[in-house]
Amino acid sequence: MAGVSGCIKYSMFIFNFLFWLCGILILAVAIWIRVSKDGQEVLTSGDSDANPYVAVNILIAVGAVIMVLGFLGCCGAMKESRCMLLLFFIGLLLILLLQVAAGILGAAFKSQTQRILNETLYDNVKLLSTADESGKSFQEALSEFQEEFKCCGLVNGAADWGSNFQQHYKSCECTDTSGSSCTTYDNKSVYKQPCISLIKDLVAKHILVVIGIAFGLAVIEILGLVFSMVLYCQIGNK
């Protein structure tokens, strides 16, 4: 009968130990955000009507699942427990299948996601010209975005700011000496390009990063599945 490969066994242990540490880190940060005073301030600082604790609760669940899987993988490898390795394999396979399902859904609803983003941005144009407190945070956020990315307004340029233009025009002010990217609005030299296209590009880049991370995780998970099953079979053949 063939023995258990020490290389696979210890590789499996190291991989899952790091996996377990990642789970602890995610869980610790999520719990800190959930219960600490500073974390509460971060969660409740926005104006959104959405429940701010949803994302944190998801992180807690993810951290807990990663910890359990890491524990099963570590113990299964070191104790050569087929039961633990099988549970690890099933858990990791379920996570991989969920990732694949999420990817398929993301691809299927890509156009709908873009439409929702467009509608959200167009709906938020009115927040730029409002004097109510409800629009203050969005106005400040867009001002910072304008200054960083050299754009002005959201959809229609500087006109989107309405009566608030004088208050926020500094972030729109165009310093391009050639003048090719500048236009004049209310006797001020401002950036010609609205920010909507830049926001869309930024979102697209972030989506690509997420896809890249998900692909990398999928490769690691497949390796984990292969190692755990090889080890499972080797233990059974001892």
| 10-residue mean pLDDT series, the chain (238 residues) | 71 86 85 70 48 71 87 88 91 87 78 81 86 82 89 90 88 80 88 90 82 82 87 82
Domain assignment present for residue 114? The answer is: no
Range of the domain at 184: 124-194
Contacts within 8 Å (CB) and 24+ apart, 117-121? 117/200, 117/203, 121/154, 121/155, 121/196, 121/199
230 domain residue, yes or no: yes
Instruction: Quote the pLDDT of residue 45.
Output: 45
pTM: 0.67
Is residue 46 domain-resident? yes
Looking at the structure, do residues 102 and 128 belong to the same domain, yes or no? no
User: Residue 115 falls within a domain, yes or no?
Assistant: no
Report the domain count for the chain: 2
Beta bridge partners, 183, equal 190
Provide the 8-state DSSP code for 104. Answer: H
Estimate to the nearest angstrom the gap between the alpha carbon of 216 and the chain centroid: 15
> Is 50 contained in some domain?
yes
Q: Are 129 and 169 in a shared domain?
A: yes
Q: What is the pLDDT of residue 40?
A: 56
Instruction: Report if residue 99 sits inside a domain.
Output: yes
Q: What is the DSSP letter of 48?
A: -
DSSP string, 148-212: HHT--SSSSGGGGGGGGHHHHHHHHB---SS-TTEEEETTEEEESS-SHHHHHHHHHHHHHHHHH
- Residue 48: what pLDDT? 46
- Pair 71, 137 in one domain: no
Q: Write down the pLDDT at residue 38.
A: 59
State whether 211 and 187 are in the same domain: no
Residues 100 and 21 grouped into a single domain: yes
Q: What is the gyration radius of the CA atoms in the chain, in angstroms?
A: 25
